[in-house]
């Protein structure tokens, strides 16, 4: 069967500034928060960040959203080269849990060590976590350099290089910057003050390579919908997902008269889980409410976005009425080209309904497209199937995954989980019966625990490493997870998951 597409692979120039997720790691008293505040202070002078004070960063922990508890403050700033999403790493289990659920992620880490103490016993645990979660790029900021002499500074540097090498990092090439975050925060211009921060930012810009969006992987599209076009054939519709990246921007539509709904939190949780980094809010039906209400909705939304780790301050919010927009006249099109790309995409979709833009010359990852499949009957296709380039994906019903079980307080289970636990797994556009088995050495998993488990699905599906999913009991999310490895399919006798033999019964 030939695939005839209205879209082709494109050479894309991503115009937006590159993005990097970075975080601080280190002992509680060595100055991570001061450093973070100092970075925003230095950059705020250049106009590329908003200064966020020590207190604001410090008070952030224990944000409890209905869903996963997010124990970290998120700060955003930009250098000339890149935009950074900066977070702190206060706990091991917290970080793993946030990483599994997609709430936070670090591509690089700044290890903060105070020069008067030097590395602490638990610095090894910090590095162990970094290694465990696959952080490839570490930089070291040797803080409080102003209260010790050069000899000590040299010794700390040597110790750190040795320790980094112990953990498989290249101790020789890791950038180490000495300075005093406190001086920088107090706008001191001496060597250890603000200049040390600029040196650190330069080092990050140069040392951490940009994460490339995967736009060259084979075509991959989960099918949302299918219909017949008379005289043409079956058209399947979905959103392009190439490689491991999906949508990287989403428009959250909230009606002004209702404001955010209880399930808006679930929408944001999903956005976080699938790795959407950019959210814009379109406050719809603005014409039927007054300004006071609009302001309230905006404030609520900004707060809620911050709860979920987005920068509630910088998220663009547009108020309007979509209904009125569909009456847009052709000569107004001239205006839309100056809008940010995601808005343009949204409007383009709206306009497509009126055949103003009929076919897409190119489709990028994140675009919603229709694909004509000649020779395929409508009833052969259903939601949850995947359309991909020939021979590029494999089906399997058996995977390894890292899973986090929500606590009771987060809306999860009360009782522990054992092997052979079977419930519904939700991922992307589909859901399926799924059985979880624990490693033979693990007795049980309690709500609040995270760990590696084996998944057995009722039928073979396509799941890629890094793909996120949730487990639901009676439509209530009890666990969130991320696939780590595809295993060979395993036999499900008579279609009954309970009869699967995972580990030989003793």
Partner 1 sequence: MIFQLVRSLHTGPICRAAESSLLAKLRKKTGYTIANCKKALEMHNNDTDKAETWLNEQAQAMGWAKATKLAGRSALQGLVAVKFDKSHGALVELNCETDFVAKNDKFQKMIEDATLACFKFAHTNMQSKGPVTKMELDSEQLGNLAAEGGKKLSEILALFIGSVGENAVLRRAECWKANNSDVKIAGYTHPAPSVVGDYSAGKYGALLAYRQANDHEDIGKQLCQHIVGCAPTKIGDKETDKPAKNSDDETCLIYQEYLLDPSYTVEEVLQQNKVEIIDYIRFSCGEVAEASMPGVEKQPLDTVQTVQ
Interactions with partner 1, residue window 72-91 (CB under 8 A) = 90-91
**Least distance CB 466 / partner 1 (angstroms):** 25
* 367 near partner 1, rule: CB under 8 A: no
- Residue 86 annotated as catalytic: no
* Nearest approach, Cβ of residue 108 and partner 1 (Å): 19
Binds partner 1 by CB under 8 A, chosen from 21, 42, 137, 157: 157
Return the SS3 of 15. Answer: coil
| Contact region with partner 1 (CB under 8 A), list: 70-78, 224-232, 412-420, 479-487 | 412-420
Q: List the alpha helices (DSSP H) in 167-262.
A: 181-185, 194-207
Q: How many CB atoms lie within 10 A of CB 460?
A: 14
Q: Residue 416, interface with partner 1 (CB under 8 A)? A: yes
Question: What are the backbone angles phi and psi of residue 185, rounded to the nearest 5°?
Answer: -65, -35
Which of 16, 46, 162, 485 binds partner 1 (CB under 8 A)? It is 162
Distance in angstroms (rounded) separating the CA atoms of residues 264 and 270: 10
- Write the interaction track for partner 1 spanning residues 212-241; mark x where CB under 8 A is met and - where it is not: ------------------------------
Q: Return d(Cα 432, Cα 447) in angstroms, integer.
A: 22
Q: Are the C-beta atoms of 267 and 305 separated by less than 8 Å? A: no
Q: Of 18, 92, 131, 199, which is the active-site residue?
A: 92
Answer yes or no whether residue 443 interacts with partner 1 by CB under 8 A: yes
Q: Which stretch binds partner 1 (CB under 8 A): 13-21, 145-153, 254-262, 428-436?
A: 145-153
Strands 220-229 and 233-239: antiparallel
Length of the chain: 506
**With binding defined as CB under 8 A, does residue 505 bind partner 1?**
no
Angle (CA) 295-299-300 rounded to 5° is: 115
- 261 contributes a contact to partner 1 by CB under 8 A: no
Distance between CA atoms of 428 and 273, rounded to whole angstroms? 10
User: Which pair of tokens denotes residue 345?
Assistant: 């995409």
Q: Which of 19, 30, 33, 178 is catalytic?
A: 33
The one among 420, 442, 472, 489 contacting partner 1 by CB under 8 A: 442
| Site pattern 94..133 for partner 1 (x: CB under 8 A) | x--------------------xxxx-xxx-xxx-xx----
Q: How far is CA 468 from the centre of its chain?
A: 10
Member of 353, 379, 415, 506 binding partner 1 (CB under 8 A) = 415
Write phi, then psi, for 365 (nearest 5 degrees). Answer: -50, 125
Structure tokens at 165: 């090498």
Strand-pair category, 108-114 with 18-26: parallel
Tell me if residue 189 is catalytic: no
**Which DSSP category does 104 fall into?**
-
Whether the Cβ atoms of residue 438 and residue 453 lie closer than 8 Å to each other: yes
Contact between 206 and partner 1 by CB under 8 A: the answer reads no
Judge whether 32 counts as a catalytic residue: yes
Q: Which one of 154, 166, 170, 303 is in contact with partner 1 (CB under 8 A)?
A: 154
Sign of CA dihedral 230, 232, 234, 239: negative
33 assigned to active site? yes
Judged by the rule CB under 8 A, the positions of this chain that interact with partner 1 are: 27-29, 62, 64, 90-94, 115-118, 120-122, 124-126, 128-129, 148, 151-159, 161-162, 172, 408-409, 414-416, 441-444, 446, 449
Catalytic residue annotation: 29, 32-33, 92
């Amino acid at each position: 069967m030939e695939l005839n597409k209205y879209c082709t692979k494109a050479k894309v120039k991503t115009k937006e500034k590159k993005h990097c997720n970075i975080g601080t790691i280190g002992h509680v008293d060595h100055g991570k928060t001061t450093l973070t505040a100092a970075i925003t202070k230095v950059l705020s002078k250049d106009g590329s960040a908003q200064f966020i004070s020590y207190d604001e960063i410090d008070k952030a922990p224990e944000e409890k959203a209905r869903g996963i508890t997010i124990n970290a403050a998120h700060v955003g700033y930009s250098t000339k080269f890149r935009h950074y999403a900066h977070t702190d790493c206060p706990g091991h289990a917290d970080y793993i849990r946030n990483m599994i659920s997609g709430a936070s992620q670090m591509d690089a880490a700044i290890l903060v060590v105070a020069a008067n103490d030097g590395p602490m016993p638990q610095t090894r645990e910090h590095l162990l976590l970094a290694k465990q979660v696959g952080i490839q790029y570490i930089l070291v900021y040797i803080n409080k350099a102003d209260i010790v002499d050069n000899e000590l500074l040299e010794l700390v540097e040597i110790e750190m290089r040795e320790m980094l090498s112990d953990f498989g990092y290249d101790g020789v090439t890791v950038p180490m910057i000495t300075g005093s975050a406190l001086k920088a925060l107090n706008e001191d211009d001496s060597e250890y003050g603000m200049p040390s921060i600029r040196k650190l930012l330069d080092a990050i810009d140069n040392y951490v390579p940009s994460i490339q969006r995967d736009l060259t992987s084979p075509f991959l599209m989960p099918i949302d919908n299918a219909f017949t076009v008379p005289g043409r054939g079956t058209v399947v519709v979905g959103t392009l997902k190439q490689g491991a990246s999906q949508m990287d921007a989403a428009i959250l539509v909230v009606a002004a008269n209702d404001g955010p709904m209880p399930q808006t939190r679930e929408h944001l949780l999903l956005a976080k889980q699938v790795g959407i980094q950019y959210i814009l809010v379109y406050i719809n039906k603005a014409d039927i409410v007054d300004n006071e209400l609009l302001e309230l909705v905006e404030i609520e939304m900004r707060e809620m976005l911050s709860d979920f780790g987005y920068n509630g301050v910088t998220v663009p919010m547009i108020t309007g009425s979509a209904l009125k927009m569909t009456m847009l006249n052709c000569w107004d099109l001239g205006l839309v080209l100056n809008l940010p790309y995601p808005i343009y995409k949204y409007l383009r979709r709206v306009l497509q309904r009126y055949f103003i833009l009929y076919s897409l010359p190119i489709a990028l990852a994140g675009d919603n497209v229709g694909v004509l499949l000649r020779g395929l009957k409508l009833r052969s296709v259903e939601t949850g199937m995947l359309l991909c380039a020939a021979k590029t994906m494999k089906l399997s019903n058996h995977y390894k995954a890292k899973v986090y079980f929500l606590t009771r307080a987060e809306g999860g289970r009360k009782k522990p989980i054992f092997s052979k636990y079977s419930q519904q797994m939700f991922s992307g556009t589909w859901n399926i019966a799924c059985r979880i088995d624990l490693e033979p050495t693990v007795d049980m998993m309690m709500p609040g625990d995270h760990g590696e488990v084996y998944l057995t699905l009722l039928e073979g599906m396509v799941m890629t490493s890094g793909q996120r999913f949730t487990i639901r009991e009676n439509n209530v999310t009890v666990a969130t997870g991320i696939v780590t490895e595809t295993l060979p399919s395993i036999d499900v006798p008579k279609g009954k998951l309970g009869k699967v033999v995972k580990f030989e019964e003793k």
